[in-house]
Structure 1
Amino acid sequence: MNKFLSFAALTAGLTLSVAASAQEQATTASSNGSYRPIPASDILFRKTITRAIDLREKQNKPMFSEGKEISRVILDAVKRGELQAYRNDSLTTTLSGAEVTSNMSFVEASAGLSDEEKAAGFSDSDLGGGDDWGAPVKKGKGKTTAKAAPKPSAPPSYEYRPKDIYQMEMKEDMIFDKKRSRMYHDIKAITLLVPSTLSANTSGIEKPIGTFKYSDLVRVFRANPDKAIWFNPQNDAQHKNLADAFELWLFNSYIVKVSNPNDARLDEIYGGQQQGILASQQAAADLIEYEYNLWSF
């Protein structure tokens, strides 16, 4: 009887332990976007990194093939209601579908007077109102009244093409798992950006469209295997799913931020874009050296 009770207690303890571990991992995944969360008890080292991905680069072109751009796959999923967007990579504040559409749209510049017309003496008031270029309209016995100018209509807005959305940022944790003795890239979130170099982006700065949990993106990529394709230019029989492309690290990126007390980007810390690029290369080398030292000592 004592042996039976001991065995039952051991079985119950193992069940509770497994359940607690599963609950811990599920909670971590749901809160931070990780697809394969690593238990905190197994983490020896962790560093949060933000990487920029330019989809125009040769190594990234397979994720940006014609008609199957990763930006198209993501935004179409948002429009269908299959994917939730967030305001930033903290993944705490959600965006509605209408807000995402607004972020990925631009307003056409209204047609105004050219420099030659302004030099000739015309003004914006001459574009509407009055007779003969704004002249007062006669009314009654010698009285004149100015004709009210029609209220200008709002300029139309247009959505950026998926080919225009070629800039992304990826937030990840570089984690050294002491149980498995290896370094993991634990991707948390991916942000789509309107590039600063687009002519339609009159602000001249990168504009975030929305941030998406990586775990949600994997689900969408797996559910749409005919669209979420990493195009293999060497063999049409070996195209891969975008989820596999991220898992196998089949893309190029560069570091733009390493976790720091001020939450500042590298170009802000080192005082310029060129210095930021050099700091990015140094940060990548430092992380490789750190992993090497873990194995050496």
Structure 2
Amino acid sequence: MKAVYSLVLLFSLVASTALSAQTTGNPEEPSNTFTLPGVADDNPLMQDGEFVPPLNDIVENKALRERRVLAYEHLREADIMWKRRIWRIIDVKEKINLPFINPQRPLISILLEAAQSGDLRVFDPIGGDNFSMVMDQKTLTNMAGGVDSVRVVNPETYEEEIVLEERIFDPTSVLRYRIQEMWFFDKESSTMKVRILGIAPMIQETTENAGRTIERPMFWVYYPEARQLLANESAFAYGNDAANRSWEDVFEYRFFNSYITKASNVLDQRIDRPERSGREQLIESERIKQEIFNYEQDLWSY
């Protein structure tokens, strides 16, 4: 009888333990309710009182944000046996240059945001294109937006009043970029090389006196200082969203089309002068391009 009583007591303890586990839940087993640490149960998109958007991709892209640029190789002055300064124009309306005006994040927005936050120095074009005058914050703020005073007529009193209107910069107004670069022949490696020195977004404006449209650079960016910033910003790559192409890749690997508008000369004259037709400007641009190519080829003997 004692054995039977002990067996019944053992079964009772096992049954009560199983019932308790089903009632309270085993802490070691995963719960059927999906929760995240620090996320409120009533709103899964709120974390610590702040909105947390969901991941709009299949994986989190960290490679581009964590990329570090490689420093340029050291050059000796004695090894530079030839060099020439070239200015180019990138027309964003060409198909290969369309990433410059990507509606989601165009290049001009990247440069302006970095300049306004103090992460990038920009240079005033008043000082020329030799990066000699840093643009002050007030000029930069007025260029990227601000408030305008506009005179309007009050429809009730028919009197003129001054109204403040917010001015928002339109990224689509930048249709061309000016590039300053240096082509040089390195006799240590016996190769022709090129390094970009500066980038200037071009903006069109109408003069008040003559009433004609002119184009001028908004500011100059010293490209070697902007390389790390551009290396962490994504540029659209045709046909492959996983390419992880950065803006530094676009400039270093020359994923753009351009034409020459000026080459260093004794009179400091530009190719795109008003007295020259468009056809003459393109012919002169191709002539300078071919001249650079021929210089390297003429140094080799077969």
In structure 2, which of residues 235, 243, 248 is the aligned counterpart of residue 238 of structure 1? 243
Q: CA deviation at 1:286?
A: 1.8
Tell me which residue corresponds to 2:96.
Answer: 59
Question: Matched residue of 2:138: which SS?
Answer: helix
Provide the rounded CA distance (Å) in 2 between the counterparts of 1:92 and 1:275.
33
Is 1:74 aligned with 2:108? no
In structure 1, which of residues 208, 224, 243 is the aligned counterpart of residue 217 of structure 2? 208
Question: Matched residue of 1:94: which SS?
Answer: coil
* Alignment root-mean-square deviation, CA: 3.0
Tell me which residue corresponds to 1:96.
Answer: 136
Tell me which residue corresponds to 1:192.
Answer: 201
C-alpha distance 111-277 of structure 1, shift in aligned 2 (>3 A): farther
Tell me which residue corresponds to 1:11.
Answer: none
Q: C-alpha offsets along residues 207-238 of structure 1, whole Å, 9 cap, x if unaligned?
A: 3211010012102123xx2xx21211211111
- AA in 2 matched with 1:239: N
Q: C-alpha offsets along residues 123-142 of structure 1, whole Å, 9 cap, x if unaligned?
A: xxxx68xx997xxxxxxxxx
Q: CA deviation at 1:109?
A: 10
- AA in 2 matched with 1:171: Q
In structure 2, which of residues 163, 172, 197 is the aligned counterpart of residue 163 of structure 1? 172
Is 1:221 aligned with 2:222? no
Tell me which residue corresponds to 2:185.
Answer: 176
Higher helix share: 1
Q: CA deviation at 1:111?
A: 7.0
Maintained 8 Å contact 2:150/2:162: no
Tell me how many residue pairs correspond in the alignment: 224
Q: CA deviation at 1:239?
A: 2.8
- AA in 2 matched with 1:242: W
Question: Matched residue of 1:41: which SS?
Answer: helix
Tell me which residue corresponds to 1:40.
Answer: 77
In structure 1, the gaps of 5 or more residues are 1-33, 113-126, 134-148
Is 1:289 aligned with 2:294? yes
Provide the rounded CA distance (Å) in 2 between the counterparts of 1:50 and 1:80.
28
Question: Matched residue of 2:162: which SS?
Answer: coil
Maintained 8 Å contact 1:170/1:190: yes
In structure 2, which of residues 236, 253, 257 is the aligned counterpart of residue 248 of structure 1? 253
Provide the rounded CA distance (Å) in 2 between the counterparts of 1:104 and 1:213.
19
Maintained 8 Å contact 1:254/1:280: yes
Which range moves more in the overlay, 267-276 or 41-50?
Answer: 267-276
Structure scoring higher RCO (CA < 8 A, sep ≥ 6) equals: 1
Q: CA deviation at 1:100?
A: 2.1
Question: Matched residue of 2:214: which SS?
Answer: coil
C-alpha distance 205-269 of structure 1, shift in aligned 2 (>3 A): closer
Is 1:49 aligned with 2:116? no
Q: CA deviation at 1:269?
A: 8.6
Provide the rounded CA distance (Å) in 2 between the counterparts of 1:37 and 1:171.
21
In structure 1, which of residues 252, 271, 284 is the aligned counterpart of residue 276 of structure 2? 271
C-alpha distance 179-97 of structure 1, shift in aligned 2 (>3 A): same
Q: Normalising by structure 2, what TM-score?
A: 0.65
In structure 2, the gaps of 5 or more residues are 1-70
- AA in 1 matched with 2:215: E
Q: CA deviation at 1:154?
A: 6.4
Q: CA deviation at 1:49?
A: 0.3
Maintained 8 Å contact 2:174/2:203: yes
Percent identity over paired residues: 25
- AA in 2 matched with 1:194: I
Q: C-alpha offsets along residues 22-75 of structure 1, whole Å, 9 cap, x if unaligned?
A: xxxxxxxxxxxx965633211011000000011221111234322121111111
Q: C-alpha offsets along residues 264-291 of structure 1, whole Å, 9 cap, x if unaligned?
A: 2112296344422221122112221222
Maintained 8 Å contact 2:271/2:284: yes
Question: Matched residue of 1:72: which SS?
Answer: helix
C-alpha distance 159-35 of structure 1, shift in aligned 2 (>3 A): farther
Tell me which residue corresponds to 2:39.
Answer: none
Q: Normalising by structure 1, what TM-score?
A: 0.66
Maintained 8 Å contact 1:193/1:209: yes
Provide the rounded CA distance (Å) in 2 between the counterparts of 1:270 and 1:284.
22
Maintained 8 Å contact 2:149/2:162: no
